Amino acid sequence: MNKTIADIAQMAGVSKSTVSRFLNGGSVSLDTKRKIEKVVKATGYVPNTFAQSLKAKRTNIIGTVVPRLDSFATSHTLMGIDEELRSQHYQMLISNTSQDVKREIEAIYEFARQKISGIILLAAQITDDHLTAIQDISIPVLLVGQQHEQIHSLIHDDYRAGYDIGAYVLSQGHREIAYVGVTERDVAVGVQRKEGFRQAVRDALPAGCYTDEEMRAAGYDIRYYETGFKMSDARIAASAILDQFKPSLMVCATDNIALGVINAAYSKGITIPSDLSVTGFGGYDITEVIHPALTTVQYPYMEAGRVAAQNIVRLVEHKTVEPVTVMDYSLIERESVDKR
């Protein structure tokens, strides 16, 4: 395991330069090629990564910054990235920031220091500090899950998904709906999904029906709430909502929130879906196995990871990439929504 390029050169009876050229696909005569190949195979020689990187000033490593590790979306995206990167002979390095924006910035600089070739950034929001860091390091960055005009982005089609969920539940006859969203600082989850949904409602309303009163007169009562990303937060929020409003359906901005809502409903003796229908966003595995199974939007996280990996590699290799890549999704109708 400890052979150096000098050993190989000596054993093959050529110079180090030639071996290096052979390794990196430079021009080498067929004859020497064979000689070196034999020695490399026999010795199991592998070049020292550090020496390579020190000279070449770059690595075959893609750094991925993630806000958390214990999330279905993150882990599946990571698996997709890892798989694709591996097939392209790149390595994935993960930096977990535990939802700490300061650590996100640090991670970006730290990756730069380590001469990482490219960075995939899974972030809930992009601040000026992010922008500054990305500018500073002059390394390709791909944003996943959010969109920003100054950064190559890969997103899920949150707006359309929100619209589809809205159109679907309306088509099932629901008119009294609580939309349980998250902070608008997360544009994808907090704004896009909600606005998509809101637009679906608008499109369903009779013409000229805009104000809350007009909506109510038309039989619609749609209210918007905000909670955190954690199931426990959602449970508490849902409990409070249900004390003051009796919707026939709750649209939740994530599957986790939906799970919290379902739990809160059970605690109050509310049966799903006959008393209360529920929908989510995400398509986590667990949503299929609970009872009743959750109607939700399924995002192709693993596939998104693969595409993200392809894009960042293209960026690293100075090939063109669309400013924004939009992934598809599917609406999965299961048991948690009743007809009204």
Q: For binding to a second copy (CB under 8 A), which residues are involved?
A: 1, 46, 48-51, 53-54, 68-70, 72, 75-76, 78-79, 82-83, 92-94, 96, 98, 112-115, 136-137, 231, 235, 259-260, 262-263, 266, 285-286, 289-291
Among a second copy, DNA, none, partner that 21 touches (CB below 5 to 8 angstroms by kind): DNA
Among a second copy, DNA, none, partner that 217 touches (CB below 5 to 8 angstroms by kind): none
CB of 34 vs DNA, minimal distance in Å: 10
Choosing from 1, 25, 27, 289, the residue that interacts with DNA (CB under 7 A) is 27
Bridging pattern class, strands 330-332 and 295-298: antiparallel
How many Å apart are CA 203 and CA 206, to the nearest integer? 8
Cβ neighbourhood burial of 80 (10 Å; 0-12, 13-18, 19+): buried
How many Å apart are CA 305 and CA 82, to the nearest integer? 8
317 binds DNA (CB under 7 A): no
Q: Which is nearer to a second copy, 200 or 309 (CB)?
A: 309
Choosing from 1, 2, 208, 318, the residue that interacts with DNA (CB under 7 A) is 2
Spatial contact of 66 and 94, defined as CB atoms under 8 Å apart: yes
How many Å apart are CA 152 and CA 82, to the nearest integer? 19
- Nearest C-alpha neighbor of 15 from the set 43, 42, 58, 23: 23
Residue that the structure tokens 């293209």 belong to: 314
Residue that the structure tokens 């390029």 belong to: 5
CB of 36 vs DNA, minimal distance in Å: 9
Among DNA, a second copy, none, partner that 263 touches (CB below 5 to 8 angstroms by kind): a second copy
CB of 87 vs DNA, minimal distance in Å: 21
